[in-house]
Amino acid sequence: MITQRSVKGQEWYQADDIAEEYEEKRFSRGGRLIDRREKQAVLDALAPVEDSTVLEVACGTGRFTVMLAERGADIVGMDISGPMLQQGREKARAAGVDDHLEFMRGDAGRLPFPDDHFDAVFAMRFFHLADTPASYLSEMRRVSKGTVFFDTFNRFSTRSIYNWALPMGSRLYSRYEVRKLLDDAGLELVTDDHDFVLPYGFYREIPGSTASTFRRIDTTLGSIPGGDRLSSVSYWHCEG
Ligand SMILES: C[S@@+](CC[C@H](N)C(=O)[O-])C[C@H]1O[C@@H](n2cnc3c(N)ncnc32)[C@H](O)[C@@H]1O
């Protein structure tokens, strides 16, 4: 039996309808550019991808798992939700890579792999759900012999304005807190990237045709001195 630790809304992603609508709700319309940006962040952190062994923790519907399998990674996608994994399996079949990846059901708090098993381990959109991030990060570090990569939503940002309205809220992090988590896990920061002054929730509500205009304003705001301090998302690329 799989035991779940402290993850917000742990029941939420177990429902078939939530899993079926997951991508359509977040990554259609203006949300497409978020999907692209996140995929680029993963590719940058994991390069070179081909032939590397990768674990994706909380892989959900396999957005990244399938992309990385298509690029020749030897990848396992793990998630606690059967319905989310089912979406991933269908996507892998449609992309013709179902023989090149493995999806497995499991708990991020107890990764069923020996120490230093993968070249890289990453989790996207997971740490905002975790009430005990240190325990998850230390598991990720344990099974990676190199790269550990993840994202966080930021406390001092536009995300905090609508956080209360989200069905399960999100854990928001300060940069100080993440750096402390990395220190405690024995991880070295390689690069950190801070983006999206306008929060994800804004983009997913607007048509794709106007999203790139707002994205230009967003990146301009982020690039003025101190602008990245307003970013709602951070991407953390570390080494064990
Ligand atoms: C917001 S979704 C992100 C999915 C995917 N990483 C993405 O970016 O599209 C969060 C995922 O975390 C999974 N999850 C929640 N608690 C988990 C746990 N303890 N172990 C593994 N996965 C978990 C959920 O089932 C869900 O698929």
CATH number at residue 20: 3.40.50.150
51 lies in a domain?
yes
Q: Hunting for tokens 């962040």 — which residue is that?
A: 41
6 lies in a domain?
no
Residue 57: give the domain boundaries.
12-239
User: With a 6 A CB cut-off, is 4 part of the ligand 1 pocket?
Assistant: yes
Q: How confident is the model at residue 168 (pLDDT cuts 50, 70, 90)?
A: low
pLDDT in tens, 75-100: 999 999 999 999 999 999 999 999 99
Angle at 149 between CA 148 and CA 153, to 5 degrees: 140
Number of Cβ atoms within 10 Å of the Cβ of 220: 11
Rounded Cα gap, residues 135 and 14, in angstroms: 22
Most confident of 6-10, 122-126, 201-205, 225-229: 122-126
pLDDT in tens, 118-153: 999 999 999 999 989 999 999 999 999 999 999 999
What is the residue type of 61?
T
Rounded Cα gap, residues 45 and 122, in angstroms: 9
Domain count of the fold of the chain: 1
211 lies in a domain?
yes
7 lies in a domain?
no
Going from the Cα of 103 to the center of ligand 1, the distance in angstroms, rounded, reads: 13
96 lies in a domain?
yes
Please give the model's pTM, rounded to 2 decimal places. Answer: 0.94
Atom of ligand 1 nearest to the CA of 9: 15
195 lies in a domain?
yes
What is the model's pLDDT at position 226?
Answer: 86
Q: Please give the sequence-ordered ranges of beta strands (E in DSSP) within the chain, or none if there are none.
A: 53-57, 74-79, 101-105, 118-123, 144-154, 172-173, 188-195, 233-239
DSSP characters over 33-72: HHHHHHHHHHHHHH-S-TT-EEEEET-TTTHHHHHHHHTT
1 lies in a domain?
no
User: With a 6 A CB cut-off, is 19 part of the ligand 1 pocket?
Assistant: no
137 lies in a domain?
yes
Q: Which stretch of 20-29, 66-75, 137-146, 161-170 has the lowest confidence by average pLDDT?
A: 161-170
Going from the Cα of 226 to the center of ligand 1, the distance in angstroms, rounded, reads: 32
Reference 233, options 165, 150, 176; nearest CA is: 150
Nearest-CA residue for ligand 1 atom 10 is: 126
Angle at 62 between CA 87 and CA 200, to 5 degrees: 105
